[in-house]
Structure 1
């Protein structure tokens, strides 16, 4: 009798265990593999997702580009309010702060996050959250380091604007910033990090200060596309305060189009950035080379699945000029291989046209065409974004199409940035090898 009872108990336990394994397997199957995007009808509705499932994913990023001029001792006694846009939504949030270009530790005693009421410094009532770090409301970030806050409950809608406010009461080293935000930020005297009205935030800036990332917890994502780029990704000539960088248009497509992989878009563009060289001493805000930025600005991002690499044109047009296409292609190949070894799908962009009257323009154009030919031929990236083909004037291939030219012969207009995003085949963004998107 005992033996039969023991066998029955064992059988029952095995049945329960098998049921748990089947349930876990089914839970995994509800998330789409970004390497094989399904047809629209295969995409489960949000309400079909298990309530307990989910992951952390970056929803916004702004690469640290240098130390802000005129802030040798930091900005003590000021509340610095950054406005950032979420590419995907979630039910919880956490914030990344950096002191990468500081020379001394900086201590923040008040850090908050809230939904923006509009494009200004005011918060949506009831959404202000005070952040903690390791359970404490104060955090000291050493020079060269970053800190990520504890999670906080906050319903973040996709495409929502967030206010991330930091307050440091004491002097520190220079403020680490992102120089070209194309988004108005704010400052106020005193500790007003928790202020909802925003009325005291009368100082404005076009920089993001100290904040480099926002992450959300969500079950409705297939990870993140991280774009490592220069001023074309930074959106330097896009209309400020309108989210018209090409990455913003791409994020909207990924959110809105049926069958698109539900991926966040993280913009790690720095104006003036080069693939092979660090910024010169008199232009430190151009940032470290793309090769050196991979680890700091891409591989650490939560949920990163795909790297889009849009770099190389500044290596040709900024002195010292790279005049050997093999050197550029070798740099692109090294970076792609390192990213691929870290498990990322790597998409590379061709070098876009420029129209200058400089004596060396003809030689630079020859190198650009040779680099693009090598990239299109395959073997460098898993897939290719042919931004050159999208933006160039067919009658004058070394120039931007007039309606896509912001006026400087190099950077796109809002229409040009939109065209770049619309040229991306979303179904192939995270899969395939040696294909032109």
Structure 2
């Protein structure tokens, strides 16, 4: 056989042919696309008898939604007594007329085994891009440790006497607040979206350093930029996460499928992970191990027809865990990301946020004060850098036979 010629294409337009529906006697139903996500980070005490009104911010819109609820980290069956969705007016109050009851195989309740997730049935509810959605979960019993996401950077609400409150529109019973998302880990929409981009990383992606209740994490900013392409953005960031070993939650290699590749409509994976390995205990000091891990992530994504953008590791001098040895490893890993041919495209966040006067530090204008994370302006710069990598830089076509 002749040698296969690799063709240079621009990343996002290369996705579009694979999204064209085949000719059929009847139109196929619109596909599901991920519009919002969070990765389970741990467990909290159960809230028996309470209703949690989670506030989540959608990226793309659609004509219907379905919700992913998780008992992945639980140790006992999770009894879901009621789940509702609604567009948010303000605080815990729903836009009148938009509250819907979600079902599970047409039943109003469900039991989720420990270690598992479940999806609701489709819920007819038109939702615009950039909307806040209320996902209310009523748990009548003590189902053991509750799977949650700790660093929500979003105020959600609790009704302590939750029986019947899941269907409340006015929100008056939701007097308590929480900074965690309970049970809900994803919202898909059905409509004309062209797919989704999964932001996969640690606290820098999770949003640490950005302003709470403002949706200014870099994946949120990226979603605003990609709205012109009808692409959703899913935030699979997990504060404390590592590339090479378990830290907060399972390692990136372990959670890749559940938090990224299995998500509805995933077309591109953006990998921004590794700084916690360098600054952690024990610190990772072999850049070749990073390269092997990145290659594994890319191979598993390519097997699903998903393109991968690698993001360079950003400065952290001034953070208590910074060392000269760790800095040397970061520089070598970044050299591999930039020039090692590991990824389909590269977003050079290091170059975008570093201080020209001391490239080992974040530019003060982007530093919230801990010398590791990004403030709102820094988050916007990272989003711009990833957007440029997605839309302007040429990448190799996917290998023949890979599904888009």
Shorter-chain TM-score above 0.5: yes
Aligned to 1:266: 234
CA contact (8 A) 1:228 1:307 kept: yes
Residue deviations 1:85-115 (CA, integer Å, cap 9, x gap): 1100000111010001110001111100000
Aligned to 1:155: 126
> Does 2:337 match 1:369?
no
Residue deviations 1:370-396 (CA, integer Å, cap 9, x gap): 000111003110000101001100110
**What is the distance in 2 between the residues matched to 1:139 and 1:161?**
25
Aligned to 2:168: 195
Residue deviations 1:48-90 (CA, integer Å, cap 9, x gap): xx9976211010001111112xx1xx21100011000110000
Residue 191 of structure 2 is aligned with which of 218, 221, 226?
218
Larger Rg: 1
CA contact (8 A) 1:83 1:164 kept: yes
Count of matched residue pairs: 377
Aligned to 2:349: 387
Runs of 4+, deviation exceeding 4 Å: 50-53, 357-360
Check 1:225–1:317 CA distance in 2 against 1; reply closer, same or farther (3 A cut). same
Residue 143 of structure 1 is aligned with which of 98, 114, 121?
114
Residue deviations 1:310-345 (CA, integer Å, cap 9, x gap): 100000001110011111121112111111122100
Check 1:380–1:198 CA distance in 2 against 1; reply closer, same or farther (3 A cut). same
**What is the distance in 1 between the residues matched to 2:29 and 2:97?**
26
**What is the distance in 2 between the residues matched to 1:122 and 1:160?**
14
**What is the distance in 1 between the residues matched to 2:392 and 2:157?**
37
CA contact (8 A) 1:116 1:123 kept: yes
**What is the distance in 1 between the residues matched to 2:88 and 2:194?**
26
Consecutive unaligned residues in structure 2, runs of 5 or more = 1-9, 17-25, 398-404
Aligned to 1:58: 34
* TM superposition shift of 1:359: 8.0
Consecutive unaligned residues in structure 1, runs of 5 or more = 1-31, 39-49, 280-285
Return the TM-score normalized by structure 2: 0.89
* TM superposition shift of 1:190: 2.2
Within 5 Å, which residues of 2 pair with 1:16-31?
none
* TM superposition shift of 1:424: 3.0
**What is the distance in 1 between the residues matched to 2:121 and 2:319?**
52
Deviates more, 1:357-366 or 1:332-341: 357-366
Aligned to 1:322: 284
Check 1:140–1:57 CA distance in 2 against 1; reply closer, same or farther (3 A cut). same
Aligned to 1:108: 80
CA contact (8 A) 1:275 1:291 kept: yes
CA contact (8 A) 2:11 2:390 kept: no
Query: The residue matched to 1:247 in structure 2 has which SS?
Result: helix
Deviates more, 1:157-166 or 1:333-342: 333-342
> Does 2:205 match 1:233?
yes
Aligned to 2:359: 397
Whose strand proportion is higher, 1 or 2?
A: 2
CA RMSD in angstroms comes to 2.1
**What is the distance in 2 between the residues matched to 1:426 and 1:224?**
16
